[in-house]
Amino acid sequence: MTHYLFIIIGAVLVNNVVLVKILGLCPFMGVSKKLDTAFGMGAATTFVLTVATGASYVIDHLLLAPFGLEYLRTLSFIVTIAAVVQLTEMVIQKTSPLLHQVLGIYLPLITTNCAVLGVPLLNVANKYNFLESLVFGAASAIGFSMVLILFAGIRERVDGADVPVPFRGVAISMVTAGLMSLAFMGFAGLDKYQ
C-alpha cells in the first residue's frame, strides 16, 4: 500500500509533471487565465491521462511487445491516445451534456499534449504494471491540475496588480511560474524518506 502512496506523492509533489518535469507547459500557460477554466482543464486532463495510461499499457503489452515493435511506441501511443480521447469526447457529448460542458472544449486540446504522451512513456521506463501505471497517470494528472489551479489563482490576482509595463502579460506569468517551480523544488527533500 505504501508503495502506491509513494507513487502518488512522488508524482504529485516531488516530480510534479509541470514544475519539475517541465511537461505540458502549453496548457499551463495558455489555460490558466481564469480559475474556472483552469478547473475544467484540470478535470479534463485527469480524465484523459488516466484513460491514456491504461490504453497505452494495453497497446504496449498486447500489441507492440509480442511482435517486438517497441520502437513504434511513441507513434502508436499518440495515435491511440488521440483516438481514444476523441471517442470518449463524442460519447460524453451525446450522453452527458453537462459533463461535456465542463470538459468539452478542453478535451481535444490535450489529446496530443506532451504531458499526456510523456506519462505513458515514463510508465514504460519505470516498468510499472497496469495498476501502477493507472495510479501514476492519475497522480501525475492531479499534480498537473493542482499546479494549474494554483497558477490560475495567482494570475487572476496579478491581473489587478501594478506590474511594471515591460513585465505585463506573459512575462510576469513566466516569472511567476519560475517562482512556483523553485517552491516545488523544496519537495525534493521528501525523497530522503522514501
Partner 1 sequence: MLTAILIMALGAIVLGAALGYASIKFKVEGNPLVEKIEAILPQTQCGQCGYPGCKPYAEAIAEGEADINKCPPGGMEGVRKLADLLGREVKPLDAEEKPKQLAIIDEQLCIGCTLCIQACPVDAIVGAAKQMHTVVESLCTGCELCVKPCPVECIRMEPIAEKIDNWKWKYPVFEIKPARRAA
Partner 2 sequence: MLQRLFKFKGGVKPATNKAPSVQAPIRIAPIPPRLVVPLHQSIGGQPTPLVEVGDRVLKGQRIGAADKWVSAAVHAPTSGTVIAVEERVAAHPSGLPTLSVVIETDGQDAWIERHSFDHASLEPERVREILRDSGVVGLGGAVFPSHVKLTPAASVPMDELVINGAECEPFMTCDDLLMRERAEGIVRGVAIFRDLLRPKRVLIGIEDNKPEAVAAMQAAVEALGENFEVVAVPTRYPAGGAKQLIRVLTGKEVPASKRSPEMGVQCFNVATAYSAWRAIAFGEPVISRIVTLTGNVEQPGNWEILLGTPMQEVIALAGPKADTNRFVMGGPMMGFDLPDLSAPVVKATNCIIAGSPALFPPPAPEMPCIRCGACALACPHELQPFELYWFSRSRNFGKAQEYNLFDCIECGCCSYVCPSHIPLVQYFRFAKSEIWSRERDKNMADAAKARFEFRNERDEREKAEKAERLAKAAAAKAAEKKPAPAETPPAPAEAPAPQTVDAEAAKKAAIAAAMERARLQREAAQPKNTDGLTIAQRKEIAEIEKRRAPLQAQQQTTPNADAAQTQNSQKDQQ
Which residues contact partner 1 by CB under 8 A? 30-31, 33-34, 59, 63-64, 67, 69, 72, 75-76, 79-80, 83, 86-87, 90-91, 93-95, 97, 101, 104-105
Nearer Cβ to partner 1, position 109 or 154?
109
User: What does the DSSP 8-state code read for residue 166?
Assistant: G
Any residues with CB less than 8 A from the CB of 9 and at least 6 apart, and which?
Answer: 190
Count of alpha carbons within 13 angstroms of residue 150, beta-carbon side? 15
The answer to whether the CB of 44 falls within 8 A of the CB of 70 is no
- What minimum distance in Å lies between the beta carbon of 59 and partner 1? 8
Q: Report residue 4 CA to chain centroid gap.
A: 18
- What minimum distance in Å lies between the beta carbon of 91 and partner 1? 6
Instruction: Please give the residue ranges that form the binding site for partner 2 (CB under 8 A).
Output: 156-157, 159-162
193 makes contact, choosing from partner 1, partner 2, none, with CB < 5 to 8 Å by partner type, with none
- What minimum distance in Å lies between the beta carbon of 69 and partner 1? 5
160 makes contact, choosing from partner 2, partner 1, none, with CB < 5 to 8 Å by partner type, with partner 2
User: What does the DSSP 8-state code read for residue 69?
Assistant: -
162 makes contact, choosing from partner 2, partner 1, none, with CB < 5 to 8 Å by partner type, with partner 2
| Other Cβ atoms closer than 10 A to 110 | 26
Task: Give CA angle at 60 (58, 66), nearest 5°.
Answer: 105
156 makes contact, choosing from partner 2, partner 1, none, with CB < 5 to 8 Å by partner type, with partner 2
159 makes contact, choosing from partner 2, partner 1, none, with CB < 5 to 8 Å by partner type, with partner 2
Residue type, 31: V
Instruction: Write the Ramachandran bin of 68: left for phi over 0, alpha for psi from -120 to 50, otherwise beta.
Output: left
90 makes contact, choosing from partner 1, partner 2, none, with CB < 5 to 8 Å by partner type, with partner 1
Residue 31 has phi, psi (to 5 degrees) of -110, 30
The answer to whether the CB of 40 falls within 8 A of the CB of 103 is yes
Nearer Cβ to partner 2, position 132 or 156?
156
- What minimum distance in Å lies between the beta carbon of 30 and partner 1? 7
- What minimum distance in Å lies between the beta carbon of 122 and partner 2? 38
